[in-house]
Structure 1
């Protein structure tokens, strides 16, 4: 993990003893449900399940009084389908990585098997920039980040993304298999770049470009894997960082410059809604 400003992160609520639903009560709708005024009382409710890291978690400590994009999407899904939507946000703030999520995926099987819509957000903490030795470089003890930026190059970007592809394929395939043959919205999030524009990291222009190369390869891989496994890919990377990935996320991030602000949550919700609601609406 990045030593300064790095997300504390991903997880699944089932992994934390005694944890219930991940969403902080102060940041989620009453009774954790979304419902359109047009909801038909005769239609059974739809289940919306989110798994992953602290990006969908939306802790009140990260973004006070913010409404998470998971719940905003639930509202939009209810309006589009005319049915009640029951969000089940199982993401949390435990530092879970992609390999650990895979190791514990069986604990989520029951919730995933009954979900009509699934959002997977596990892109943030397993990227090469968060490794113990990013691209083979030691961590500078004075700054907490990469000591030899020359090693953070296109070759490393390509190599590290390819190394994670089999695990993303496994994750998406296993999640999709829980709903085989049933109409289900499957959405995967990629990762915005919270390195460029960070006052804490204070990267040089060359260093910032190197983080863009890593994010370009990482996000392309995630979206390719998602689509190969019947997921839609929510491209929050370019929504936050522009078409070249070089634009700072700015006010789309909260004060920690890691988690989404309310404006950032709104933007992620917009990206999700723009994907449409097939096959449910």
Structure 2
């Protein structure tokens, strides 16, 4: 097991900071940072948290730092779809319902789907049943040939966008499960796609169902200043129509 000093040094290197940079940001001496990293000084729990905050260490990894320093974890991890976070769950469900008739869903750090609104159902009805066995992964639904991939007109572009997003996630906080998903479905191969300029808002996902093209762009919503691991790691993916024809299709759905 790595020491807290070794873990802090890895996070500092990952953020591209010197010991002096970190010491100034955390309002401690550079010597103290050095002593902590080399194991010659045992930091208090509050010092571990202070350094982790300046390094933008995710809550899950802050617990790991605390354990390595000999302290109990501070940040709980409770399922959003359980009964432990009723206010947060109600807030998320309100957002999902309010977004109808357009699709919206909640995903965790590995892009597993936690909650959806009713407008997602027509999309899930088109994928193979084996892809709907929990945990249902949004990236796999989109890129697997048994999923939505055959219906996505600009599949290479969508894959490229997902590759960029997940690569950024891994750069911020490495995760073995997410890395495995990236290797399975998003490993670079062939010519890279250059994203098109000129879209009014963002690069759309273009679906073709029954001869009709649906153009959607997405936004991402996260919780501000969460103190629970689950709340820090979930995001709401909301999809909007990119043209009048797509808007008309969704407003005509019987939800």
Same fold per TM (> 0.5)?
Answer: no
Asked which structure has the greater RCO (Cα within 8 Å, sep 6+), the reply is 1
- The structure richer in helix per residue is 2
- Normalised TM-score (structure 1): 0.25
